[in-house]
Amino acid sequence: MSVKPELAQDVWKDAGKNVLFTTFELKREDQAKDQEAIQDFVDRYQAIIRSMRIRADGENLRTALGFSNAAWDYLFPDAPKPKELETYNTLKGPKYTMPASKGDIFIHLRADSEAVLYEMMSQIRLFLKDFTTVVDETKGFRYFEGRAIIGFIDGTENPQMEDAADYAIIGDEDSFFENGSYAFAQKWHHNMDIWNHLTTETQEKAVGRKKFSDLELEDEDKFKNAHNVTSQATINGVEQKIVRMNVPYSDPASDNTGTYFIGYARHWTVTKTMLQNMLDQNDYLLSFSDILSGQVYFIPSRPLLDKIADGELN
């Protein structure tokens, strides 16, 4: 079977206007009860989506639900496991690190209206609150022209929309998990005072692109550790791609501003290679940023969610 985007969750397009990233940790008080609870939740989760798409028609609701390696082992100990699913551990470079953080269940919601996200998560919480705790909840938003909070167009390195599904969705190389995806979620905090004191020319050299037009600079005009240089991944001589849906988050009065990086990939190894390259080459963006969290999650296909809801993985 080839990749079928219609069977996948929303992992290959639409970064959204209003976004909510929520990470939960299982309390792990009673494994058997938690397994029953997750079956009920997954069933209810899909029903909530269907209902919201009727109630909020035209609001472009997009959703993705995933499980970490630790959660998969706990909830589905007798089931097969995605080939590349592992627990993300802190990556280190010569100067910077990308720390790992807790996380069992990850939910990525986006819609045109923040009210839709509120209603979705309010209903989701009803079924998760008794056996999970919230690790992190971050609200993101679409900045002007789809720009990152540092002022540059984000997602330029994404594959063409027509090709994106093949880069984000697992194929027949892992047939049981076909049409699933690997999501890597990572929260960055930026020191905007440092960034904003740089000249536009320096910022462009740091990113590797023109700030206004988004045109890529010639290699000789970039810093050696420009972001669009260090974040590339080449495996066996072939440049690899993932689907990024990064968005800014900010509480501007308290100077809490950053980027929530979310990358969906057919192969987690591709994303991991990109991250390590950024560290090994001291990506310029790391010089004014702190990485606050990071974990990898498997995003099941919709048919696999049905199997989970029916208790077929236990």
Beta pairing partners, 209: 216
The upper half-sphere exposure of residue 153, i.e. CA atoms within 13 Å in the direction of its Cβ, equals 14
Place of tokens 């969610």: 305
CA 194 to chain centre: 26
Q: By CB neighbour count within 10 A (0-12 exposed, 13-18 middle, 19+ buried), where does 109 fall?
A: buried
Cβ proximity of 260 and 246 under 8 Å: yes
Query: And the tokens for 88?
Result: 């993300």
Length of the chain: 314
The letter for the amino acid at 92 is K
The letter for the amino acid at 129 is K
List residues with catalytic annotation: 154
d(CA 272, CA 19): 24
